[in-house]
Every structure is written in structure tokens, then in C-alpha cells.
Amino acid sequence: MRTEITNQINDDVASLSEVYLTQGPDAVDVAISQRLALSPLSRAGAHYRFEDQGGLPRSGDLSAAITQSSKLTDPTIVQSTNFGSLTLRATVFQGGETLIVARENSAIRKAAWVQLRNTLIGLVALIALAALIAVRATGSLRQRIGQMNDTLDHVGKGHLDARLPETGQEDELGALASHINGMIGRAERLLNLRKRVTDQVAHEMRSPLTRLDAALLKAQSNTRADPALAKARAELKSSLRLLDGLLDVSSAEAQQGDRRNLEPVDLAELGANMVELFEPVAELRGQHLVLEARAKAVVDAAPAQIGRLISNLIDNALKYADPNTDIIISIDTLGNKAVLSVANQGPQILGELRSEIFTPFFRHPDMAEKQGHGLGLALCRSIALRHDGTLDITPNPHLTIFTLTLPLTEQS
């Protein structure tokens, strides 16, 4: 602070000396008057006294009593009644005039604190701006990563038509999004190729197997009861059911997006019919079907396909539920969606099994001994997608819950 005061006084002395040498003493009077006209904060507590050769004052606001102790070279600190603590310095011009320049020590300190305060305010503003930019950048980053996670989650659930939005940003995340879309596209093409091959094989094999079954039936009718022929026909019928299942899945997938031949279907009414149909089977297994229709839910659907979807879900629940337990079929609405769920107490479907269980031929590892080909749930999801709906497993620590969501009709 002391060094800053000394530098200001020396600069002021040098400046006024230059005015004296180039323009004369009258110009010094004018310059001092101009300096004193500034606000105290702007001139940082500057005070002056300009005397002629005889010591009489020409201009300035300092008294003779204050300036008597000033030195010609070194700054001197004095106490003033009017201005408080001052640091001042004197110089004598070649014409014999004396110039005394002073600074208020408190004013310099105040100006320094103001400068420090402004610097701190600027620093805080800069930090706030940097924080705002960081928050916006982080928010954008979180949003883009969230989109990636959502898309990959959809892909994991079997929706291979999901793609990340193309933002056009040429950065690392943009390149990653492009690679992810390319990977999903290649996976979709490979699965579609596998599906076409499977569908073609199923279609080509069904006719010869049907003819073979007719031949076995004819041979069986022409001979005495032959267990080998009966077993062969049973195996053949199982293969035909497998091929029919594959063709049903293929047909439902081929109809995705096709809204023709759909009609209003009341899920509560359809659910009641299904409960009535399966109740005798449930009683034989010591189980009980419970229908909870909480709202009227009418959807545009192909009745046969939706009926098959619900019957498959109930049949699976009966097959895998623990004995002497309830199987709950609930129907409700959520916004513009109809929600049907089938819940049972049985083997838990956890982790990756939640998406894999909808894959054709997948069997629950704990239930491999159960009869079936693993096509029922694949067909159910294909039917749901055909109706612009979803079929997923709802996480629950105690129950296995399959939830079907379909758009309500516009009249609902």
C-alpha cells in the first residue's frame, strides 16, 4: 500500500512538472484545479499546494502548516485535521515555485479495497459463468447418455427398430451414437435373416410332415394297435405344433403396423370369458383365478389374437404358479392406455431373463422339464407389438407379473 501511494505521488509530480516545463506555472494552476474538481474516490484522496517564489499559495487545497514538514525527495507522512493521515512530497521548479503533492492514506486504502472488491465480484461472476456453462454442458451430456441408455434398454427388450437420434454433433458422443445405430442395424438385419430362414423352413416342412402324419394314420388304421406308430404320430404332432407356432409368430410380426380388420374389444369382458374358460383347469391344479376389472378398457384389436395373447398368459401362469395360490388378472386404465396384468406366485424371472424370455425357443432354466417349445411368450409379444402395445415383466419381489399395455380406443 505504501509503495502504491509513493508511486502515485511520483507520477503526479512528474506529470505536473511536465506541464510546468511545457506550458508554464499558470497551466499548473489549471491542472491542479482540474484534479481537485474530480470526486474524492476518482482522484483517490489527492491534495495539492502550489507556491510562488515567496511562499505564497497560487493554487491547491493544502495549508502551509501541513506542507512545512514535506521533503523534496522522500515522501513524508503527516497528520492533517481536515484530511487525516497524509503522505506528501515536495519539489521546486526552476523558477523557484514549490509544488507539494499529497495522498490520503485512508483514501488509497479505500480505493484498493474497492478495486479488490470489484476484482472479487468479477472473479465470482466468472466462476458463476463457468459453473453455468459446466451445468449446461453436463446437462446436455447427461441427456445424450440418457438417450443412449433408453435406446439400449429398448433394444435389450427386443425392440430392434429403436435408434438413437442423429444430432449432427461431430464429437465423441456423436461418433458413438453412429456406431451404436450401426451395430443395432446389423443385429436387426442378422435377426431378420435368421427369422426369414426359420419361417421358410417352417413353411416348407409343414406340408411334408402333414402328409407323413396322414400316411402314419393310414398305416395305423390298417394294422393292429402299434405303440411305435402312436408314439411316432405324437412326436410328429409335436413338430407340427412347433411349426404352427413359428408361423403364428411370423404372421403376427408381419402384421405389425397393420390396423386393418381391428374392432373395439372390451378387455374386461374378454378377461371374464378367459377366466371362465380356464377356471376348471385351475381347480384341478388347486389354484384360483381372480379377475380384478377396475375400469372399462376398450381397445382396437383383432379379437382372436388378443384372446390368444391373454389365454397364453393365463396358461403360463397356471403352468408355473405354485400350488394352492391365486392367479390375479387385473384390468385398468392409465392415461390413454389400457393395462392388463397377469400375476402369479412362481419362479422369479430376474435380470436378463426378463428380455430373453420373450425370445423364441427360450425356456426358463428352472422349468426346462415343462412341456412346450418356448414360443408362447414370443407370440404374445408379437401380438402386442402388432397392436401398438407392449408386453413386459413388471419387477416385483414376490410375484411374477406380465403386463400388457394397449392404446385405448378414441371413444374410451
Confirm whether pTM is higher than 0.75. no
Looking at per-residue pLDDT, the higher value among 65 and 383 belongs to 383
What pLDDT band is residue 292 in, cutting at 50, 70 and 90? Answer: very high
- Residues in a beta bridge with 391: 404
Instruction: Among 76, 94, 109, identify where a domain stops.
Output: 109
**By residue range, what is the domain housing residue 284?**
263-407
Rounded CA separation 44/38 (Å): 9
Which tens digits make up the pLDDT trace of 202-216?
555 656 667 666 766
Residue 155 belongs to a domain: no
Residue 34 belongs to a domain: yes
Instruction: Among 75, 109, 143, identify where a domain stops.
Output: 109
Same domain, 208 and 244: yes
Which tens digits make up the pLDDT trace of 134-145?
888 787 778 878
Residue 159 belongs to a domain: no
Would you state the cell numbers that stand for residue 370, as one nine-digit string?
Answer: 415343462
Backbone phi and psi for residue 326, each to the nearest 5 degrees, phi listed first: -90, 145
Can you list the alpha helix ranges (DSSP code H) found in 157-226? 172-221
- Calculate the alpha carbon distances from 287 to 309, 320, 329 in Å: 21, 11, 13
Same domain, 101 and 11: yes
Instruction: Among 254, 275, 301, identify where a domain stops.
Output: 254
Residue 376 belongs to a domain: yes
Same domain, 329 and 205: no
Give me the mean pLDDT over the 372-398 stretch.
82
Q: pLDDT at position 41, please?
A: 61
DSSP state string for 265-313: EEHHHHHHHHHHHHHHHHHHTT-EEEEEE-S--EEEE-HHHHHHHHHHH
Backbone phi and psi for residue 217, each to the nearest 5 degrees, phi listed first: -65, -40
Looking at per-residue pLDDT, the higher value among 117 and 307 belongs to 307
Same domain, 344 and 372: yes
Amino acid at 357: I
Q: Domain holding 303: CATH number? A: 3.30.565.10
Q: pLDDT at position 211, please?
A: 67
Would you state the cell numbers that stand for residue 48, as one nine-digit string?
Answer: 495539492
Residue 301 belongs to a domain: yes
Same domain, 355 and 243: no
Would you state the cell numbers that stand for residue 90, as one nine-digit string?
Answer: 515536495
Q: pLDDT at position 299, please?
A: 93
How wide is the angle at C-alpha 295 spanned by C-alphas 292 and 299, nearest 5°? 110
Same domain, 385 and 301: yes
**What's the structural domain count of the chain?**
3
The owner of cell 394397449 is: 406
Same domain, 319 and 353: yes
Same domain, 267 and 403: yes
Same domain, 90 and 189: no
Residue 166 belongs to a domain: no
Highest mean pLDDT out of 74-78, 131-135, 301-305 = 301-305
Rounded CA separation 72/67 (Å): 11
- Residues in a beta bridge with 343: 328, 401
Same domain, 291 and 361: yes
Amino acid at 375: L
Would you state the cell numbers that stand for residue 291, as one nine-digit string?
Answer: 379377475
Looking at per-residue pLDDT, the higher value among 388 and 232 belongs to 388
Q: pLDDT at position 185, please?
A: 80
Same domain, 269 and 391: yes
Rounded CA separation 405/184 (Å): 25
Q: pLDDT at position 176, please?
A: 80
Rounded CA separation 218/212 (Å): 10
